Amino acid sequence: MTTLPQKTVTGINLLHDPVLNKGTAFTDKERDALGLRGLLPPSVNTQEIQMERVLGNLRRKTSDLEKYIQLVGLQDRNETLFYRIALENLDEIMPLIYTPTVGLACQEYDHIFRRPRGLFISANDAGKIPTVLKNWHNRDVRVIVVTDGERILGLGDLSANGMGIPVGKLALYTACAGIHPSYCLPVTLDVGTENERLLTDPLYLGLRQRRIRGATYDDLIEEFVNAVQHEFPHALIQFEDFANHNAFRLLKKYRNLVCTFNDDIQGTAAVALAGLYSALRITRKPLKEQKLLFFGAGEAGTGIADLTVAGMVEEGLTETEARARCWFIDSKGLVVKSRTDLAEHKVPYAIDRPFLKDSLDIIDAMAPTALIGVSGQHGVFDETILRRAAKINDRPIVFALSNPTSKAECTAETAYRHTDGRAVFASGSPFAPVTLNGTTFVPGQGNNSYIFPGVGLGVLASQSQRVTDEMFLTAARTLAHEVGEEDLDKGRIYPPLTKIRRVSAAIALATAELAYKRGLATKLPRPANLPGYIQSQMYNPMYESYV
């Protein structure tokens, strides 16, 4: 899928083009034809030799941040080699280019800045956003990941430093689902920051002002969304790491107007529900009988609950009955109807019972089958809570989903140790296998990369006009179906990352089929061989011959 443009790029300009550059892999014929003779060392390397060199240097680095910097540098020089290395070493590379390392990279973004990627649109660009979008070099953009940096992972307001998130997410679109990198555009909307450290840091690269709010903020978002429809009419917009007070209302406003979704709400929901479906193959109980206790009542928690409710309704419960099986603990305590301080997105899950503040009292009152950690509070699943959950359930489901690792509600080792190895565990960040009393457990990572790349590929392949909750429910079922018995035997409720392209292709097919079934697809006529068509759209990071 990578070819030289009609106006052939040659010489040093070719070596400086990360999409076309092959570095030392240019053949002798290519070097003569493209004006590269003398610009490279004389030895011609295979891509495999280049990979050996890069991985050797990478593995000698002593910190994950240094490894991140090296990989971003490679992405800036040679995208094909970067994605080949990522695809063939996902277990090693994904934690470096995304969670948990990307959190630290965002915190240090202004200090490690080398070369810009994506588009920075600031509050000062109001009224000029179409012009800013026109500055992007590629006119065929299919996927945009955009953040305003107010709630980066569990780290809070990092504003312009949050660009690492859209860049990392789009790298996963390519590595995991094969969406060509030239179709991808990362965007950061810099509307100011409330982070005092950034405002006083002389190296900070963003606007040195407080965040714009209210109508001014909404007008900027509206201008951006409208400009995308005009400049990149085939683009899917993924909202990422917006604060709760904006995330829910922006999704509600735009979901039925443009092709968009919020990964923190919908992607997280799908990967968590897929984990629940897999866990229930271990506990041998249906979804409609589960009682979920959420620690945290933000985007992730309510998104998971909404999709779980949809799944329970399919199994025969009413929506009211299903919602009553989802309890929430926020910073004040149990979310109940008598409280007058509830945000709009919490109200549907406010239960009609006396307020409780203590987590153990709440666990005793509910007797939950699953603890869902989306609080961003490290260690909130302590020994007492885990042992109480294990007393109530033979196989307690424990999901510590907050990112990065420093924000996880508990570690894999803690979960297994305090439940005597009986926990069905998953986390947002990766944890190493745990050996307890001679048994080795392989913890599952509930990473959104299992969901959003495949959904995105299905949307692009069908040219769907919208992204629906039904697509994410279908994606959750598809992902759970990809978990084999050999995975469950190890305690792993997600497939290994080595199967991620197969998983993404399966989710893309399910998504595209649903788009055609619901009349949302505009890729007409429907391809006669839809699975084959989807496979043909997946970028393979191998060098092509230019002569």
Residues annotated as part of the active site: 98, 169
Integer Rg of the chain from CA: 24
Q: What gap in Å lies between CA 406 and CA 500, rounded to an integer?
A: 25
CA 435 vs. chain centroid, Å, equals 29
d(CA 255, CA 237): 10
CA angle 292, 297, 298 (to 5 degrees): 130
Asked if 274 and 310 count as a contact pair (C-beta separation under 8 A), the reply is: no
Q: Return the DSSP state at 264.
A: I
State phi, psi for 185 to the nearest 5 degrees. -135, 110
| DSSP notation for 375-393 | S--TT-S-HHHHHHHHHH-
Angle at 271 between CA 419 and CA 516, to 5 degrees: 155
Q: Which residues contact 202 (CB under 8 A, 6 or more apart)?
A: none
**Which residue is associated with the tokens 């866990």?**
279
Residue 438, CA atoms < 13 Å, CB-side half-sphere: 0
The 10 Å CB-count burial string (b at 16+, else e) for 95-122 is: bbbbbbbbbbbbbbbbebeeeebbbbbb
Triad 377, 381, 386: Cα angle to 5°: 175
Q: Considering only CA atoms, which of 108, 56, 54, 42 is closest in space to residue 83?
A: 54
Q: Which run of H or E residues covers position 349?
A: none
Task: Please check whether residue 73 is in contact with residue 114, taking contact to mean a CB–CB distance below 8 angstroms.
Answer: yes
Task: Render the burial of 471-495: b for 16+ CB within 10 Å, e for the rest.
Answer: bbbbbbbbbbebbeeebbeebbbbb
Let me know: does 192 contact 212? Beta carbons within 8 Å.
yes
Contact (Cβ atoms closer than 8 angstroms) between residue 192 and residue 159: yes
What is the C-alpha to C-alpha distance for residues 409 and 418, in angstroms, rounded to an integer?
Answer: 14
Tell me the C-alpha distance between 311 and 305, whole Å: 10
d(CA 219, CA 222) in angstroms, rounded, equals: 5
**β-sheet bridge partners, residue 373:** 295, 400
Give the separation between CA 382 and CA 158, rounded to whole angstroms: 29
